[in-house]
A and B are shown apart, each in its own frame.
Chain A
Amino acid sequence: MRFSDVIWDSPDEHDLFVQEAQELLASLEEGALLADPPLDALFRAAHTLKGSGGMVGLTDWVTGAHDLEDALDQVRGGSRTFDEELQRETLQLVDLLRAELAGAAPGPAESANPSVWELTWDKNAPMLGARAYQAWQAVAAAFPGTASDPPEEELSGWTGTKSLLRVPAGAGPSQVRKALAAIDNLLSAEPAAESGGDGPSPDERAAALSPVPAPGGPPPAAAREGTIRIGAASLERILEGLGELLLDQGQLEHHWGGTADQATRSVLDHMRRRALDLQDLTLRARMLPLDTLFRQYPRAIHDMAKQLDKKIRLETQGGETELDRLVMDRLHEPLLHLLRNACDHGIESAKVRASQGKPETGTVRLAAYAAQGHVHVRVEDDGAGIGWDQLREKAVRQGWMSSDEALHASSDRLAELLFRPGVSTAEKVTDLSGRGVGLDVVKAFLDEIHGTITVESDRQQGTTFHLELPMTMAIMTALIVDAGPWTIGLPILTVERIDVAKQAGVNTVLGQAAVPDEDAPIPVYSLAQLLDPAAPHEDIYLIRVKDGRTQAALAVDEVRGQQEVVVKPVAALASITPWLSGVALLGDGRLALMIDVRRLVPNTRNDRERTRDDGILRAGSNQMELLVFQLSDGQRYGINVYKTREVLRAADVTKVPEQHPWLYGFLRLRGQTVPVVSLHRALGLPEPGPDAVMLMTEFNQSVQAFPVDMVDRMVRVSWDRVEPLPAVLDSAGAGHRRFTGIIDHAELGPIQLIDFEQILEQVAPPEYPPADINEYGPVTGKMVWLADDSRVALSQVEKALRPLGVQVRTFADGEALWNAVQAGKPLPALFVLDVEMPRLDGYTLTQRLKHDPRTHQVPILLHTSLSGHWHADRAQQVEADAIVTKFEPAMLARTVAGLLLPVGMVRGSHVEVRS
């Protein structure tokens, strides 16, 4: 007999069987995946499965369980080992029996063989709908899951004489009749199969009577698994359509609200209720239990444990917690990454664990629960914990923190470092992890879906990553407010309270408006001003918001109330306005801008800390990260890290005859031919030693390798610590000057900054635009101020601009140009600034010039050898008008010409960028 053929005495009996079987199968699976399977427990599980299956007559089930029981008994007796084959057989049986349960064992509310009862009513009796409702209620009370046709929610106005009830299997006819005994005006109640007639078959009726999930509860499994598969995208479109219907309804109410008669209002109300029900239903159809995801991991952990030669078991909890399918689909990789980390870096080897008095088998626990509108997922391990001291050392080494700061940094602050790109605290890189790639990706995923991640870790006790995810991405409850000219939606989960601004006790703390709070003052920002400093605003109310670590009080003009909104992203704006999570159409036709609080509120305490500690250099900080290396003279030299790509330990260089003497030849790297340039020859040093490494660089829009004798480390230095070369050393002509400056580093001593562009220019001179360009007539004679610490670059730029007929005044670095501005000289029509300059870098200088009323309207072109969009972003941060990558003379000339043309002809607010 198959499971689907079992006739149960009661739904409870069915329930009990399924529950017990699922638990036993889970323990079989879990035990089989352990390196040291608990034989007795496995045997007991197989034995109990066999026994309970036998009691209800499941023959195939019993045979399978019996065979496993036999095999396990042999292992216990020593005539067989629990080898991979037996493990596979066990897992196969688990899968088979689960399929039996899942495929043919719907829950009690949607039994496979429901019975359909036809109720015949006295046509002369009044309020038959109410009677039919009473009948459904009476039977449903005895047999939960009973459904009515017409649906129970439509019975209030029903006036027919025959209605149907679908009663779950296991409900005996006498019990159904007993439940209906007290119902008035019921002429007869008969199972539909016995009633004959030309109507639909009982099966068809049963199908027609598929239960509608009760509001507030998850849809029954069978309803979800029904016979129709529907793509997530289709559900998304249905949701969108329903959202639009609700909007239309809202607009109708808005237009007719005051004038509609009772009948119209009633229809509008009904339309709204039905649309909301359908929206809820569709949304729930998109929710899946996390088990869908979790069940993929036991095998993955098993494989990882084998690969790492460790003993690891995975415990899962809360798999029934439901999550939006769209979120879940994207959660898999981040979770897998965290599990990999736990197995690889968290759980120790059995030997180490034993020596520490821990169980040899490490535990990784994956737990989920829903709370406060979010789904929480915890990935816990009982392993070694994070090496905070190791992370402290790294933070200091990388220049992210001073030694003192690192020493006193809390684990919370240190934990934030884990999510930086390239950070790994793993002692060694393995095939699984430890490459420093990954946690930043996990963080990026959570940022994208507006979730959060935190980490707790104790040495030798283990590590827990706590993920907080939105339950759904489609609908959001928002607080709608007005701020300046905008209507704004704030996720309700971020709103802590609303105060009247005048009564909130707003004060200032060191010039920053703030309201008192239990721990510390909370900064106050005008929401309208955050969006646009010029926006008019009244700031009547204060909305206290908290999202993760971001906490602030946002002043708004009006609070319109709470609404369920469908948030729609605007693709074109995604990367321009990251604080805008989308827009929502409101019932009155207005568009609300949905705000991501963490991305809009810039200056909470924690953000300030983060900003200060951010490993990513910010434009205008006048700092750079330097990779320090040594050449054959044992002295230290430096190159901006942004010019470097990687360091190769060994590389085969193919020599090319008849080349520039500084060119060794080329090497092949990942399909690319890269020229190898000799710094030693350029600087007149002995050739590199046998242990030389290859420094791969990318600047001036090309990739090139430089052999160096040793790479020291990276240091962060301030440009104001970079001194130009002493005059006596700086007397060489532009073509012979090889350095741009020198730094006296506290730990490493003098570090010389090599003029890499100059060396490259000697090896591969650029092509200049023809001297007869005459298309830039209107710019002739205009003054351009040019700052670059490389004499070669100064000379190159002058040469490139010569065809424009402009006058060029040169400065040896940013500081010199700034001093000239301060001296009140007649200002130029354009600044062309190098980015990397001693004393004052190009970003910081741009920031100063753009904030100085005398120069803020003068266009600025940043001219840099650093490639990539990242630098375009930084240029934008400091409001540069254009950024051009070195060195394309024609492009530079065109962009300069564009910036010099009168406003209205060319300039507008957009100029060329090359990166």
Chain B
Amino acid sequence: MEEQLLTVRVGPYLFGAPVTAVTEILSHLSVTHIPQTPDLIAGVAVVRGQPLEVWALWAPLGLEPRQTALALRWESARGVSLVAVDAVESLWSPGQPLARDLWDSLVPPAISPWVESGYRMESEWLWSLAADLPDRLQSSILGGGRLAAG
């Protein structure tokens, strides 16, 4: 059985975050923008004394950057970080994912490395994010696969 997903919205798009990776949903965050960082980094927020970087997917999705209202506390091999989302919807147990070649060309290449699987959820597409999403985002800004132009 596929791992349960926490369904979240980033702009109009629906994503699924693996519940094993998400340890907390945080609202009313105070995010400090750090200058000279790529759009992928919304800034730094302090969670119980620890400064954590806040990743934002708006820019690669072609969306306007916005104030971070809600974020998922995400644990990966590299450590803990936050991933900004616009809304958290529900827990969802996915069925069989769609074959990658059916959707790969539909997902913008900028996002593709971060998407693990594609699903049809009622009338919408849902893209499940990789469990090591923050690690992949980090690697992308360090040029390990992608180069931040901004």
Contacts and interface: CB of A to CB of B under 8 A. Distances in A.
Interface of A: 240, 243-244, 247, 485-486, 531-532, 535, 568, 570-573, 575-577, 579-580, 582-583, 585, 589-591, 593, 775, 869, 872-873, 875-876, 879-883, 894, 898, 901, 903-913, 915
A880 B146 contact: no
Interface string B94-116: 00000000000100111000000
Leading 4 A-B pairs by shortest Cβ distance? A904-B62, A913-B147, A244-B49, A531-B35
Contact of B41 (A572, A869, A912): A572
A583 B37 CA distance: 15
Contact of A911 (B52, B59, B138, B146): B146
A570 B46 contact: no
B75 interface: no
B140 interface: yes
A903 B64 CA distance: 12
B146 A903 contact: no
B30 interface: yes
B49 A911 contact: no
A29 to B, nearest CB: 46
B91 interface: no
Contacts of B142: 575-576
Contacts of A875: 147
Given A576-B37, A911-B147, A240 B49 contact: yes
Contact of A908 (B44, B110, B138): B110
B70 interface: no
A570 B51 CA distance: 7
Contacts of B147: 872, 875-876, 880-883, 910-913
14 contacts: A243-B49, A570-B52, A571-B79, A576-B142, A579-B36, A585-B46, A585-B49, A869-B143, A872-B143, A908-B59, A911-B109, A913-B146, A913-B147, A915-B143
B143 A591 contact: no
B13 to A, nearest CB: 12
B46 A571 contact: no
Nearest to B61: A908
Contacts of B109: 894, 898, 906, 911-912
Contacts of B148: 876, 909-910
A285 B38 CA distance: 40
Given A591-B44, A876-B147, A908-B60, A585 B37 contact: no
A907 B35 contact: no
Contact of A909 (B49, B51, B143, B149): B149
A593 B39 CA distance: 18
A582 B134 CA distance: 19
Contact of B62 (A593, A869, A905): A905
Interface string B1-44: 00000000000000000000000000000101111111111001
Contacts of A531: 35-36
Contacts of A879: 149
A901 B62 CA distance: 12
Given A582-B51, A898-B109, A912-B109, 20 more contacts: A577-B35, A585-B49, A585-B51, A589-B30, A590-B32, A591-B46, A591-B51, A869-B143, A872-B147, A876-B143, A876-B148, A879-B149, A880-B149, A881-B149, A883-B147, A894-B109, A908-B108, A910-B59, A911-B147, A913-B146
A222 to B, nearest CB: 33
Q: Contact size class for B?
A: 35 or more
B65 to A, nearest CB: 11
Contact of B35 (A535, A585, A905): A535
B78 A532 contact: no
Contacts of A485: 33
Given A572-B138, A915-B143, A909 B39 contact: yes
Interface of B: 30, 32-41, 44, 46, 48-53, 59-62, 78-79, 81, 105, 108-110, 134, 138, 140-143, 145-150
Contacts of A915: 143
B53 A572 contact: yes
Contact of A571 (B61, B78, B150): B78
B41 A573 contact: yes
A547 to B, nearest CB: 19
A915 B146 CA distance: 10
A76 to B, nearest CB: 64
A577 B50 contact: no
Contacts of B37: 573, 576-577
Contacts of A593: 32, 34
Contacts of A913: 143, 145-147
Contacts of B32: 486, 583, 590-591, 593
Given A872-B147, A881-B149, A909 B38 contact: yes
Residue of B32, B33, B35, B140 most packed against chain A (CB within 10 A)? B35
A571 B81 CA distance: 10
Contacts of A573: 34, 37, 41, 44, 53
B71 to A, nearest CB: 14
Contact of A577 (B34, B48, B61): B34
A880 B146 CA distance: 12
Contacts of A591: 30, 32, 44, 46, 51
Nearest to B58: A908
Contacts of A247: 49
Contacts of A589: 30
A911 B110 contact: yes
Contacts of A898: 109-110
A560 to B, nearest CB: 16
A912 B146 contact: yes
Contacts of A244: 48-49
A657 B105 CA distance: 44
Contacts of B36: 531-532, 576-577, 579
A583 B146 CA distance: 27
A579 B145 CA distance: 24
A98 B47 CA distance: 49
